[in-house]
Amino acid sequence: MSSTWIIIAFILGFLIVFQIAKASEYVAILKGEEKTRKESNRINGFLLLAFLVLGLFGVWFCNHMLKDKILGEAASNHGERVDTMLYITLAITFIVFVITQVALFWFAYKYQEKEGQKAYYFPHNNKLELIWTVIPAITLTVLVGFGLYYWYEITGEAPEDAQVVEVTGSQFKWEFRYPGADGKLGKKYYREINAIKNNPLGQVWTDPDNRDDVVGSQEMHIVVGKPVKLVIYVKDVIHDVGLAHFRLKMDAVPGQPTTMWFTPKFTTREMKQKYGEDFTYEISCDQMCGAGHYSMRGTIVVESQAEYTVWMKKQTAQYELAMAGQQPDPAKVPGASGDSTGNKETTPSAPGASGDNRTTSIR
Ligand SMILES: [Cu+2]
């Protein structure tokens, strides 16, 4: 019903505009074309001026209304720099915006057609060309230079003591893997991926480094003030790890792991104190990846080292879950005891596989 009314309103509107245009055409004929043109020039000049004033007011008003709606303080060291770059870019573009818009609309008003006023013929000026080419070129080079510097820092080598978290995206969820006490992530092979056998990431169980790796879904735990290196994988299409509060974003590309690192500055609790109890650090998918793209939201818990250690102690290595679930064939799984006493502990035979002890805290 409402669409019928909208169509009727459109038709009426069109008829009114059409009639007004026709009427002004008759008026023009009656008054004389030149006089009408001058009058319409004057009106347009004033309208342009009004548009300038209203437009600038609108810009101010939008910024004023929306300034509390943006994400708040950046919650990582890299984020601070990204924000600084953003504010510098905004300041520069704002100055250029105001100068060009005022000049555009003010000139259109001031130099409208007038009796006895002739346009000045000004075809070329090398000096002006040089100024408005060189100044933007230098400014953009500096901005891009800073951007590249920060980009290479974010995607470059993480500090030695960085916590490593592997992030794997798939339609439509995030999975996280943490190295156990050995600090090493075990090998993966895509053909090993088997959700029923409790191996969602395709860990290769013969690799001893896998024995203590912890796998979680939808919630990532990291430590405040400690660098985190994300190693990003996907199982299907291109996704994108979006960490808006940390001002970071990285494509997750099939067949090509990507990395980035950052240091979280505030715990989730501190952010809740600042921005209200419903604050959540969010990991979103920033790449349209299918019908359920919108639901690909995970959370990040930033906590103290002590809290993280307690949390990590409560986790069970994926290896243990997988072995418990599938009643492994002792002949195939090295060191698997396969007994039915409920004791899920395995005694891996491979050398260097002693990092199985879940009570040992992660660095
Ligand atoms: Cu996605």
Q: What is the pLDDT of residue 11?
A: 94
| Ligand 1 center–CA 189 separation, angstroms | 21
Q: What is the pLDDT of residue 327?
A: 53
Q: What is the pLDDT of residue 282?
A: 93
Q: Which residues contact 83 (CB under 8 A, 6 or more apart)?
A: 74, 247
| Ligand 1 center–CA 312 separation, angstroms | 27
| Ligand 1 center–CA 64 separation, angstroms | 33
Question: 282 forms bridges with which residues in the sheet?
Answer: 299
| Ligand 1 center–CA 241 separation, angstroms | 8
**What one-letter code names the amino acid at 44?**
N
- Quick one: three-class SS letters along the chain? CHHHHHHHHHHHHHHHHHHHHHHHHHHHHHHCHHHHHHHHHHHHHHHHHHHHHHHHHHHHHHHHHHCCCCCCCCCEHHHHHHHHHHHHHHHHHHHHHHHHHHHHHHHHHHCCCCCCCCCCCCCCCHHHHHHHHHHHHHHHHHHHHHHHHHHHHHHCCCCCCCEEEEEEEECCEEEEEECCCCCCCCCECHHHCECCCCECCCECCCCHHHCCCEEEECEEEEECCCCEEEEEEECCCCEEEEEHHHCEEEEEECCECEEEEECECCCHHHHHHHHCCCCCEEEEECCCCCCCHHHCEEEEEEECHHHHHHHHHHCCCHHHHHHHHHCCCCCCCCCCCCCCCCCCCCCCCCCCCCCCCCCCCCC
| Ligand 1 center–CA 127 separation, angstroms | 51
| Ligand 1 center–CA 288 separation, angstroms | 6
Q: What is the pLDDT of residue 314?
A: 86
pTM of the model: 0.71
| Ligand 1 center–CA 250 separation, angstroms | 12
Give φ, ψ of 174 to 5 degrees.
-115, 140
CB 150 within 8 A of CB 81: yes
Residues with pLDDT less than 70, the chain: 326-363
| Ligand 1 center–CA 121 separation, angstroms | 56
324-334 pLDDT, tens digit per residue, is 776 544 444 44
| Ligand 1 center–CA 194 separation, angstroms | 20
Q: What is the pLDDT of residue 57?
A: 95
| Ligand 1 center–CA 239 separation, angstroms | 4
| Ligand 1 center–CA 1 separation, angstroms | 38
* Strand duo 173-178 + 163-170: pairing: antiparallel
CB 113 within 8 A of CB 41: yes
What is the rounded distance in angstroms from the CA atom of residue 358 to the CA atom of residue 316?
7
Q: What is the pLDDT of residue 361?
A: 33
| Ligand 1 center–CA 195 separation, angstroms | 19
Q: What is the dihedral angle through the alpha carbons of 59, 61, 65, 71, rounded to the nearest 10 degrees? A: 20
| Ligand 1 center–CA 308 separation, angstroms | 27
Across the beta sheet with 248-252, what order do the strands follow? 219-223, 297-303, 281-285, 239-243, 248-252
Q: What is the pLDDT of residue 350?
A: 38
In angstroms, what CA-CA distances link 174 with 179, 200, 310, 321, 351? 17, 11, 23, 19, 32
| Ligand 1 center–CA 243 separation, angstroms | 13
Q: 225-246 as b/e, with b when 16 or more CB fall inside 10 Å?
A: ebbbbbbbbbbebebbbbbbbb
Q: What is the pLDDT of residue 205?
A: 85
